[in-house]
């Protein structure tokens, strides 16, 4: 009986410690453990602060992008997707240089490249970090089950996609090789 009490105490301490560590990690990176998608924000590529609460009632597709990647041509389909669902979907690209150093340009260079080569007029954020301690809070939320209440997601390359529904809930994660116009994505935009 005494051993059962010790085991229970050890397990309880472990759970409390894990919660404490997660809470401290989330706070350290600027996310409350109770954060919802709509409480998050980002700076656009042209310097405007954008709150995700602006997109309540719409699906949101978030994509980590890069200008010099084998998947860069997906910008075409991301633009087509935005145009196909103008009142139901917001596409947001988050340029990032964390994978293969394939986004070395400045914000101005990235914007010019996207507009000139792919006619991009969907939202782009400023260039961000996704890996390590500097991970942008939106991507921390998208990849951490204790924050998004759905799944742990590991981003290992450019053009990963996250679909959030009209209620601000993470619905699906799609790796780089799933194209933006794939039925796996379009069938969930309602």
88: CATH: 3.40.30.10
Number of domains making up the chain: 2
Mean pLDDT of 45-67: 97
Indicate whether 18 and 69 sit together in one domain: no
Mean pLDDT of 34-43: 89
Indicate whether 42 and 59 sit together in one domain: yes
Q: Distance between CA atoms of 90 and 38, rounded to whole angstroms?
A: 14
**pTM, entire model:** 0.83
pLDDT tens, residue by residue, 71-104: 999 999 999 999 999 999 999 999 999 999 999 9
pLDDT tens, residue by residue, 115-148: 999 999 999 999 999 999 999 999 999 999 999 9
pLDDT over 70 percentage in the chain: 82
Indicate whether 18 and 48 sit together in one domain: no
Q: Distance between CA atoms of 168 and 53, rounded to whole angstroms?
A: 9
pLDDT of residue 34: 47
Indicate whether 118 and 179 sit together in one domain: yes
Which residues span the domain enclosing 4?
1-30
Catalytic residues: 69
């Amino acid at each position: 009986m005494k051993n059962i009490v010790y085991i229970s105490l050890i397990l309880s301490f472990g759970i409390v410690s894990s919660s404490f560590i997660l809470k401290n990690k989330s706070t350290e990176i600027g996310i409350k453990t109770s954060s919802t998608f709509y409480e998050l924000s980002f700076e656009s590529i042209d310097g405007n602060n954008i709150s995700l609460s602006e997109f309540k009632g719409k699906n949101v597709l978030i994509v980590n992008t890069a200008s010099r990647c084998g998947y860069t041509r997906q910008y075409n389909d991301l633009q087509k997707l935005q145009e196909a669902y103008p009142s139901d979907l917001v596409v947001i690209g988050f340029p990032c240089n964390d994978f293969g150093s394939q986004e070395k340009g400045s914000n101005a260079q990235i914007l010019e490249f996207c507009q000139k080569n792919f006619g991009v007029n969907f939202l782009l954020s400023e260039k961000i970090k996704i890996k390590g301690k500097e991970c942008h809070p939106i991507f921390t939320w998208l990849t951490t089950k204790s924050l998004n209440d759905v799944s742990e997601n590991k981003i290992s390359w450019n053009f990963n996609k996250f679909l959030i529904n009209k209620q601000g809930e993470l619905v699906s994660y799609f790796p780089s090789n799933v194209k933006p116009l794939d039925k796996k994505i379009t069938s969930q935009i309602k």
